[in-house]
Amino acid sequence: MESGATGTGYEQPALTDLGTPLSEVTFCVVDLETTGLAADACGITEIGAVKVKGGQVLGEYSTLVDPGEPIDPRVTRLTGITDEMVAGAPAIGAVLPSFLEFASGATLVAHNAGFDVGFLRNACELTGTRWPRPPIVDTVVLARKLTEKSEVPNRRLGSLARLFGSPVTPNHRALDDARATVTVLHGLIERATGHGVVTDTDLVEFCRAIPSELQRRKRHLAEGLPHKPGVYIFRDADDRALYIGVSVDVAARVRSYFSAGEQRRRLRDMIASAERVEVIECAHRLEAGVAELRLISGGKPPYNRAGKNLEFRSWVRLTDEPYPRLQISRKPPEPGEPRLGPASGSQAQAAIAAIEAALPIRSCRTRLSPKRTSATCILGEIGKCAEPCRHTVSVEEYAAIAADAARALDSDPAPVAEAVAGRLAELSESERFEAAAERRDELAAFLELSASTQRVRGLVAAGEIVAAGRARGGGWEVALIRHGTLAGATRTPPRADPMPHIERLRATARSVEPVADVVDAAHAAEARLLLDWLSRDEVRLVDVDQPWACPLDGAERWTGAVTSEPGVRRGPFG
């Protein structure tokens, strides 16, 4: 079963947002050669990049680029790249998409990253390409923090490459310089781990400016905290929760708020009011993530942004009247009621637009009576509405239209997907590309919300699920899920039989009232967090109480996902 929180409006941070261990992070180390130093006045002549993960090279990227202008002879003497060499090369508009695809999903690394990133961002602006805003690590900044003058006379790439024993000598050619930077990066990461830098989040934060005097004075708040998974709560003098966070290493994460990494004005203001840090230790990162979600939703700490106002999420449902229409509501659905959600208001509105484009359901907000007619509108005149306002359809005939809408909300998006896809083809053939893009986005919002709603419903209806993910250092991280709620969690010792621990967890886990569907937005947010964890490659299903599945004709098949019986996919502890 595929899981996620796509298109929910509220984006609970994925478990990877808690910090991915550096050994599991993909880095794209890039170097550029250019016609000059100013990103807004000079062009790129060469791009070289190396993608690495866990110390292993995953791939390399190298190409010359026609800058569209003559190369300064002084630059040619430095790089060896001539006008003749780039004359037949592709322009940056042709190169940029392939490079961004190569770097997609990776943390971008460069030596003096401001230079390379500045040129890449300017190229995106000139070509109308969206800059993906990847995490960025600058090896110059790292070197300033992690090397001494006694070791290296300066932080130039050549000096650092010699210090860390690079097999490639930098020579002002993009790929060779990127290869040398890989060696420098690995050497610096090895040193950074001694400063509590263990995840990609830690590394990016470590690269930032020097800490403020206020941060220095408050460093004692990070003392004595456990190096374990858990939730940390910054509290003020009145013991009010100011900010709630989560980490797989609480001590390292809290320490980062008082170091060079934390430059956010909002959190610096929070630190100014903080008087102590409370820690709730958890068995593993999933339990910590769920605990954080519950605490933020319940306590609404002022310096947290995401997850505070789940009660304001929107649901798409049908009104209860003789001629129903689709509406956006903040009221949680009744058990078994056809609906989509919860979602942001904009996604809910887009999903409604897709359904209304496919079915002749009315969109007006007038309360219609089966006993008297009402004024019609333009949609009826152009055949986009069945016109119940004029009684052109009976209550019974209109009920069939409403039933189609209910099925689209509940289980079968095919009529909507097929109708909108046909409309997209017509608009494209007519070269009405802006209108086609709007219909495409509405359909995507509907399908994503439908798939998410069905996944959550399937998890809740499955009853009790026991799953386990491999723990770093050995053993298993076990979660006991009951009706879309985390009822208990434990971590088993390395090389021990996990089943006795699982049985004890079952006996001590909290009871959860059986439900067939989510009861409110907070329940849905927790279920989506659990689905995100269950979909990870290292997680194995141990036991499932009820059949766990999504509808065969549901939204998954339209979004490209393949749904199968989870227990057949892989066995526990295999």
Q: Is 172 a catalytic residue?
A: yes
Which tokens sit at 439? Answer: 């219909």
DSSP letters, 274-302, are: --EEEEEE-SSHHHHHHHHHHHHHHH--T
d(CA 109, CA 111): 7
The residues, ordered by sequence, that sit 6+ positions from 130 with a Cβ below 8 Å of its Cβ are: 124
- Assigned token pair, 147: 């090397």
DSSP 311: G
One-character DSSP codes across 377-393: -HHHHTTSS--GGGTSS
Quote the CA–CA distance of 296 and 241 in Å, as a whole number. 9
> How far, in Å, CA of 538 to CA of 469, rounded?
5
Marked catalytic residue, from 111, 172, 227, 483:
172
- Read off φ and ψ for residue 158, nearest 5 degrees: -65, -40
User: How far is CA 147 from each of CA 158, 189, 201, 209, 329, rounded to the nearest angstrom?
Assistant: 14, 12, 21, 16, 57
Peptide bond into 21 cis (omega under 30): no
> Sheet containing 44-53: which strands, arranged edge to edge?
56-64, 44-53, 26-34, 107-110, 136-138
Q: What residue ranges in 427-547 does DSSP mark as E strands?
A: 464-470, 476-482, 485-491, 539-544
Q: Position 65: which residue type?
A: V
**CA–CA distances in Å: residue 122 to residues 40, 61, 126:** 6, 20, 6
E-strand stretches of 319-463 = 326-329, 339-343
Active-site residues: which are they?
172
